[in-house]
Amino acid sequence: MFKLIGKLIKWSIYVSVGCTILLVGLGMSIDTPVDTNKVTKNEVKVETVSQEEIALKNEEKRKGFHCLSAWNGSHRGVVKFTKKQLRDPKSFEHDKTLVWPVDVNGNHQLVMQYRAKNGFGGMTSGVVKAEFSNDTCSAIVKSID
């Protein structure tokens, strides 16, 4: 008896959510505004890029942020290498990553702090020092503490 009631409640929720999604989708398709800036097949749209935008992109590349994760600021290659060295890779937690601007050789210095479980099950912190290329974003790990 209770299983039947539970199933009825579950399916009524599924149906109501489905109807809501359907109605919202229909409402969005009806009131869609017309974009007058769309490009037809024969037209070519040329966007001008200001000198300020170019300077900002060059500054971001000089700082090395283009090689780091937008989510948490870590370098994916360094994280992958570090996880391979850990006893329990699933326990890896990224704390922070510090990056120095590009040097004369085209490389960035990187220091990453992380936490992971040790052999006794407790969380310990560690530091990884690495260097990565400004062009290819490939990293070389110097040390893991």
- 108-136 residue pLDDT tens: 999 999 999 998 999 999 999 999 999 89
Higher pLDDT, 28 or 73: 73
In sequence order, which residues have a C-beta less than 8 Å from that of residue 22 and are 6 or more positions away? none
For the chain, domain boundaries: 76-144
At residue 53, does pLDDT exceed 70? yes
At residue 145, does pLDDT exceed 60? yes
Q: How far apart are CA 60 and CA 63, in angstroms?
A: 5
What is the structure's pLDDT at 130? 96
